[in-house]
Structure formats: C-alpha cells, structure tokens
Amino acid sequence: MPSKRMRTPNHELVFAALRKTAKPLTAYELLDRLRSRGVSAPPTVYRALGRLIEDGRAHRLESLNAFIACTRPHHGAEAMFSICDDCGSAEEILDPALSKRVAGWAHNACFELDRAVLELHGRCRDCGGA
Amino acid sequence: MPSKRMRTPNHELVFAALRKTAKPLTAYELLDRLRSRGVSAPPTVYRALGRLIEDGRAHRLESLNAFIACTRPHHGAEAMFSICDDCGSAEEILDPALSKRVAGWAHNACFELDRAVLELHGRCRDCGGA
DNA sequence: GATGGTGCGTTACAGTATAACATGCCTTCA
DNA sequence: TGAAGGCATGTTATACTGTAACGCACCATC
C-alpha cells in the first residue's frame, strides 16, 4: 500500500505563502503571515515545511535559515541556488554540468553522496552583475 | 597603514580547540570546552570565530551551524566541504574543475559571485562509501 | 466500537546568535 | 603627562531558530 499521507490545508497555506514571494522566507516570517489564517505556533509551520520538502515542493536554504517554493519538481537532491544579498531574491540553478561535476567528485573520492548544498551568494543581474 | 588588528589569546584558544578535533564544532561546544580556560559567554566565542573566518583560518559550515579550522589558507571564498553524516567528520574539498564550473555558471548568468557555499552530505570512504 | 495511523494545537524548552553597555589596555599625539 | 580614540573583552539580556512531548480529533480498518 502506498503512503496514506495527504495534502492538508496547512500544507497548502504554507506553500501558497512561499509562492507568493520571490524571496525566501524564514519559518517565523511564514508564521507571521499566516496567523490571520489560523496558524498559531512554530510547530505547525515546521511540520508543513518538513512535508513540503519531503515532497519536493519546497527547499531549505541553509545559509539563510529560510525556505523557498520549488515549482519544478526535480530528480535527486540536486537543488542549487543563487542568492542575491542585495535584493534578497533567490533562484534555482539548473546546470547539469555542475551537478555532474559534483557527482564526479564524490565518485572519485569514494564519497556516497546523499545531498548537495550549493548556495551562491552575491549580486544578481539586476542588482549589479553588470 | 595596514590593519592594527592583532591575534589575541582568545582567538588562539578557539583556533586551537577547532584544530584539536576532526569534527566541526558548534559555538556552544567550543564554549563548553573553553570554560575552564576562562571563556565564559557566547559573544567571546562568536567574536573569535568571526575573526578567524575573516582571516581565513576557519570556516562556517552552514548546514551544520558549526565551525572548522582551515589549515591551508586559500585564495577566494572557495571553501567546499564533504560532510559525513555517520561519523561527523568534514573535509575540505579541493577541486579546481568544480570551482571553475561554479565561476563559469556565475559568469554566464551575470551573477556577481561573492561566496560559494558548497557542502556535500553523505558517507565518507570509511563509513560506507565502499 | 476498539484500534491504529496521521495531522493538529499547545506548552514548554533547547539550541543558535547578537545587541548594548561598561571596562581596560594600548597607541597617538598635542 | 595626559587626553582621546581604537580595539578587544566581559557581562547581561534578549532575539531568532527549531524541537520535544503531550493530548485531542479525525478517519479507515477490521
């Protein structure tokens, strides 16, 4: 029998809040935005985030302690981001050559890779990447 | 006139504690280990860590909220790590091709790169990377 | 109608990081 | 000599991030 787990109103509230902004949001920012919708405490937010991440619908940005919606579901744990420290926006990086290079390194080093955290900080095209 | 900033006993205490272990340490683990040496509160540890990082003598592992000594000083912000989720060890990755690929992506995307956070989670050679 | 799985609300707490202010030690330079 | 400023530190308090542990409700199954 496959999983019994379902999508719930809380999951969708959090997901919708993430999608509404271009910037990653912290769990507490999400909480503030959803209090009016009945979300009252951190565990609710964290539980929904955990679920969205499991399901590939959101990602955690480790270097910001923040979360972002993932529109295009992807394959492995290969989620890579560019983060603009000026405007706060973050975008998913899709670069197969880069993914391949990471996998190649792991293979050469006999490292059994589970998850790659790749987050590039700087300034986006609009903010000064002239 | 160059910087007046000096290395102080606190910096060296923290640096020595980091070097004494193979595993990354959190700020509070460092604090516990250094209480007997007179370090009494978080700000002291965080200030020393900030300085060590500025000076290229330590790195922060974003996905662990932990810190590790950097023996070989390096060039840019290119610090990349493999992290074993079994034994807790972390090792610096030196892979020029990978660094180049990251820089290449940034260039193509007109992204002005300041700092790359690259942390690979999995199992090291000893722990199961058979 | 018992049982068990899953999600939720709530409280309390653990873990991570910094603000703000006071003190002391230098160096500089009048 | 001594006033002034920079830097590191000590101390207290607080902010931010994340989880444990409990109890309840719902729903499916048998």
Q: Which tens digits make up the pLDDT trace of A35-77?
A: 999 999 999 999 999 999 999 999 999 999 999 999 776 655 5
Do the Cβ atoms of A111 and B122 come within 8 Å? Answer: yes
Q: Read off the pLDDT of each residue in B61-90 and give the average, rounded to a whole number.
A: 88
Q: A46 — alpha (psi -120 to 50), left (phi > 0) or beta?
A: alpha
Do the Cβ atoms of B117 and A122 come within 8 Å? Answer: no
Do the Cβ atoms of B121 and A115 come within 8 Å? Answer: yes
Question: Which bases of chain C are under 7 A from a protein CB atom?
Answer: 5-12, 15-20
Q: Strands, E, within A72-111: which ranges? A: 78-84, 90-93
Tokens standing for residue B35:
């209480």
What single-letter DSSP state applies at residue A124?
-
Please say if the pLDDT value at position B130 is more than 70.
no
Where is average pLDDT lowest: A79-83, B73-77, B99-103? B73-77
Please say if the pLDDT value at position A129 is more than 60.
no
Measure the CA angle with vertex B102, ends B100 and B107; round to 5°.
90
Q: Read off the pLDDT of each residue in B76-105 and give the average, rounded to a whole number.
A: 90
Tokens 């792991």 belong to residue: A106
Tokens 């987050």 belong to residue: A119
| Residues in chain B closer than 8 A to A114 (CB atoms) | 85, 121-123
Do residues A17 and A30 touch, judged by C-beta distance below 8 A? yes
Q: Report the DSSP beta bridge partners of residue B117.
A: A119, B79
* Among B129, B123, B130, residue whose Cα is nearest residue B87: B123
| Residues in chain B closer than 8 A to A63 (CB atoms) | 62, 117
| Residues in chain A closer than 8 A to B92 (CB atoms) | none
